[in-house]
Amino acid sequence: MQNNLLANVAKHLLQYGPKVIAKPLSIVPFSVKAKVLEKLLNLLLAQQIEDEELGFLQQRWVKIDILDMDLSFEVSFDRQFLVREQGVSEVTFSGYTKELVLIAAGKEDPDTLFFQRKLSIEGDTELGLEVKNLLLSIEFDSMPKVVRESIEGLAALLIRLQHQAEAKWA
């Protein structure tokens, strides 16, 4: 009985948690979200910026669509990351919060999620592959400690919730 209750709670947290977080996030002006995303991307990919590995993103836009949070934005690079709300993008990455966090934490492979239909990549395939390879090149250990620990903690929580939600059926 207790396992069923815990499994149901975990399942609901996984399903509705991002929607709950999306509500207050929706009232934050996009310009504020864009500035935070730009700073985060510039921080996370500082080594790639320094090594001049981001030329393939100049004057090209990649759309990120976080489906369960109803959050969408586009990213480009011109000496620093640029984020905008909408425009014309060449490739779109779509997925749910859980999968995107697990990719960021290095706990899931984007190819695996793509073939499981948990990650969608539409548009310019070549640009999509370059972005995917860029994500895979990020050395998680080189991220600032607070960012690394936040992503690791969130990924661990998501994995525990997923295991708990699946325990009902075991």
DSSP readout, 1-17? -HHHHHHHHHHHHHHHH
pLDDT of the residue at 21: 77
pLDDT digits (tens, 9 = 90+) for 51-95: 999 999 999 999 999 998 889 999 999 999 999 998 999 999 999
Task: Say which range, 30-39, 64-73, 154-163, has the weakest mean pLDDT.
Answer: 154-163
- Give the Cα separation of 122 and 134 in Å (integer): 17
Mean pLDDT across the stretch 97-101? 86
Beta pairing partners, 71: 66
Element (H, E) at 105: none
- Give the Cα separation of 63 and 61 in Å (integer): 7
Q: Which domains does the chain have, with CATH numbers?
A: 2-167 (3.30.1050.10)
Question: Computed from CA positions of residues 35, 37, 42, 48, in that sequence, does the dihedral angle turn out positive or negative?
Answer: negative
User: What are the start-end ranges of the E strands in the chain?
Assistant: 62-66, 71-77, 81-84, 91-95, 119-123
Angstrom CA distances, 147 to 15, 44, 63, 119, stand at 24, 8, 22, 23
pLDDT digits (tens, 9 = 90+) for 100-143: 888 877 788 888 888 899 999 999 999 999 998 888 777 767 77
Are 82 and 76 in contact, with CB atoms under 8 Å apart? Answer: yes
pTM of the complete model: 0.80
